[in-house]
Amino acid sequence: MTVLLLFFSGIGAFPARADVLTVKVGVYENAPKVFTSESGKPSGIFIDIIESIAKSEGWDLRYVAGTFAEGLDRLTRGEIDLMPDVAYTSDRDKLFAFHKVAVLSSWSQIYAARGSGIRSIVDLNGKRIAVLERSVQQETFNRLTNGFGIQITIITASDYKTMFERVARGEVDAAITNRFYGLMHAKKAGLEDTAIIFEPSDLFFAATRNDPKRLLNSIDSRLSDLKKDSQSEYYASLKRWTSEEVRFKLPAWLQILGLVLGIALLLSLAGSFILKHQVDTRTRELRTSEQKYRELVQNANSIILRWNRAGEITFLNEFGQNFFGYSEAEILGRHVVGTIVPESESTGRDLSPLMDEICARPEEFENNINENMLRNGDRVWISWTNKIVKNNAGQVLEILSIGSDITERKQTEEELDKHRLHLEEMVNERTVELKAKQTELEAANNKLKDLDRLKSMFIASMSHELRTPLNSIIGFTGIILQGMTGEINAEQRDQLQRVLKAGKHLLALITDVIDISKIEAGKIEAYAEEFPLDSVINDALSELKLPIKEKGLEIGVSMIPEKIILKTDRKRLFQCVLNYLSNAVKYSEKGTITILAEEKGDKMQIKVTDTGIGIKEEDLSRLFQSFIRLDSNLRMTVSGTGLGLYLTKKLATEVLGGEVSVTSTYGKGSTFMLSIPKNLRNKTDQEILPQ
């Protein structure tokens, strides 16, 4: 395939001039972003954009086909100059060069066969998941499932088409793809999207390390110009590969009106022109409104239901049909009672009295939780948000209901209630037997700790339920900012950027809450591995490269001895170092940040010293506590959750087996210290030690 592409790309071409730059571009199969058409021509959004840039720059493009993994290997060896559709990661930044202006924003999503029952991440336990070889989704999804203790089997494939085919044949249970490919191919493959969305990311062209042909600056410059022009090839490509044509039929009255206007045209050309302009404007508005509504309903991962005053179902979206187990033809016109609401002695099929009651107290009906039923008779709990539609006389015409399945949450709450009741009985019994049965009291205390861990697990579960829709908010906001849903004005862009920033801030808070909850629930165990300490420090500094550069801060790193090898949990140590450095950068407007790493016997001591605002002596005791942010002149301009230092202390003491401390001089700066064992034994290592 590679040879054919290179051969056909040269047919009919004159010998390249000396001043024409030849650029080799990798191609793999990931429609609509980049793929090979039936005619054998490279196609897709990335191909349209690079060809537009090449035309402006005078480049001679040569395409090299293969899998995604083969493309990355060729880029590493310098056999090609550019690889399209590459998500930025810190590991890839060490191998390749990236430009600054993102081509697209996307996210990863799980796709499964219809009726698979996979609705949330916990449903993936024990499942076989297909993922693109060497993709960023593989590493990210492994971390996500490991964090929730979910056991899965990862099966890699060279392209997305193969993955979807294996799901359709039942060889694997689900597949991970980007949202663009899923929208274009899932329905044809007989698959459906699930509510499991993760890892929003920006996509770029990756170049050979150090960009020897100096391609990336040209890509940034041309791409910025293309994005500013709504009529450019950039937006034309997005519309060509991702938009659906909206069929619009003029109503009969408007056709009659057009006939009348045609007659009026003979009498008044000017009046006809004005009216035509108004009709065209209204038509465009209707097209835009209809398209947005269709996308909202089509992409919704919630139940959307409409039912009239008589209780008859007038609409149920595709997600709701799959959830309850009915086709559209089967459920339309059926009564809600006996279909999705269980019948009982107190439930009548005449809903008129209920509608009158709703009209008198609508605020009590707007949000409620009901026990509903599926077609097979299974009972589920659904949280409903209801919108009442009335006529001019105030009578209820219909109800628009949007629902989310909270059966798992409801079951957890019921279990908690049972445990609370049991706890009360248990404490009373143990109090009576305290003097005679001290050992039984210790057992009761252990059960209390189990309940506390269950509470933390519940908090972690709830945080995940928040994180899933939040990832969707971040992803959809990014798509709107890219202009994929149409042009937006400056004020709208500013507001959406605020939404995106707030969403990422909230996502960071939820992630910290999940980590803390898992520590308190005893669900985080250290995983010791050998690694050089300087790699952790360099990775943390790389994460903060932009704010360090913006503030003009100087960074000093000193290690004694110069090369230090640790055996501990690298991921958790990285979190601690990153939190210390992040605080130092936030609260230092100028000056120097110094990192000192020094061996102290069998301990490793890491100190982060800044020349920032410092901490008052009376406030030192309040550090390393949850949701604590000290008053300072920077508090209103520096964002934070108040969980960073608390999480650092938890990780250091309960996971890494170390300790934390701080010294500070108000107005001059602070020093935060982390001391941990140089060699941390895994739990399995500890269990086999002689007693």
**Residue 646 binned pLDDT confidence (cut-offs 50, 70, 90):** confident
Q: Of the spans 251-260, 364-373, 505-514, which averages the highest pLDDT?
A: 364-373
* Predicted TM-score (pTM) above 0.75: no
What is the pLDDT confidence band of residue 251, given thresholds at 50, 70 and 90? very low
Please indicate whether residue 455 or residue 383 has the higher confidence score (pLDDT).
Answer: 383
Judge whether 83 and 75 are in contact, CB under 8 Å. yes
pLDDT in tens, 274-324: 555 665 666 566 566 556 555 665 566 789 898 888 889 999 888 888 999
Q: What is the pLDDT of residues 170-183, one digit of tens each?
A: 999 999 998 888 88
Pairwise CA distance, residues 523 & 457, whole Å:
9
pLDDT value of position 7: 33
For the beta sheet containing 554-560, the strands, ordered from the edge strand earlier in sequence to the opposite edge, are: 554-560, 592-600, 603-610, 669-677, 659-665
| Beta carbons within 8 Å of 358's beta carbon, 6+ residues apart | 365, 388, 396
Mean pLDDT of the chain: 81
Structure-block tokens of residue 11? 């047919």
pLDDT in tens, 321-335: 899 999 988 999 999
Does the structure show a pLDDT above 70 at 426? yes
Query: Burial code of 252-266, b = ≥16 C-beta within 10 A, e = fewer?
Result: eeeeeeeeebeeeee
Considering 218-222, 305-309, 411-415, the range whose residues carry the highest mean pLDDT is 218-222
86: helix, coil or strand? strand
pLDDT at 689 over 70: no
684 pLDDT exceeds 50? Answer: no
Spell 666-680 as b/e; 16+ CB within 10 A means b. Answer: eeebbbbbbbbbbeb
Distant-in-sequence contacts of 278-286, Cβ < 8 A, 24+ apart: 279/254, 283/248, 286/248
> Which helix (H) or strand (E) is 32 found in, with range?
none
Listed in order, strand segments (DSSP E) in 350-494 are 367-373, 379-390, 396-405
Q: Which residues of 394-430 are buried (b: 16+ CB within 10 A; e: fewer)?
A: eebebbebbbbbbebbbebeeeeeebeeeeeebeeeb
Radius of gyration of the chain (CA): 30
Is it the case that residue 393 has pLDDT exceeding 90? no
Tell me the pLDDT band of 619, cut-offs 50, 70 and 90.
confident
Whole-number pLDDT of residue 15: 43
Q: Does residue 685 have a pLDDT over 50? A: no
Which residues are CB-contacts of 333 (< 8 A; sequence separation ≥ 6)?
312, 313, 314
Tokens of 402: 């949007």
Q: Where do the DSSP E strands lie in 541-602?
A: 554-560, 565-568, 592-600
Q: How confident is the model at residue 80 (pLDDT cuts 50, 70, 90)?
A: very high
Instruction: Give me the mean pLDDT over the 27-55 stretch.
Output: 94
Contact (Cβ atoms closer than 8 angstroms) between residue 306 and residue 398 = yes
Structure tokens at 582: 């992040």
Query: Which residue is associated with the tokens 């009919």?
Result: 12
Q: Which two tokens stand for residue 64?
A: 């090299």
Tell me the torsion sign for CA atoms 70, 75, 79, 83.
positive
pLDDT higher at 516 or 205: 205
Q: Given this model, what pLDDT does residue 268 score?
A: 53
Q: What are 6-25's pLDDT values in tens digits?
A: 333 443 333 444 478 999 99
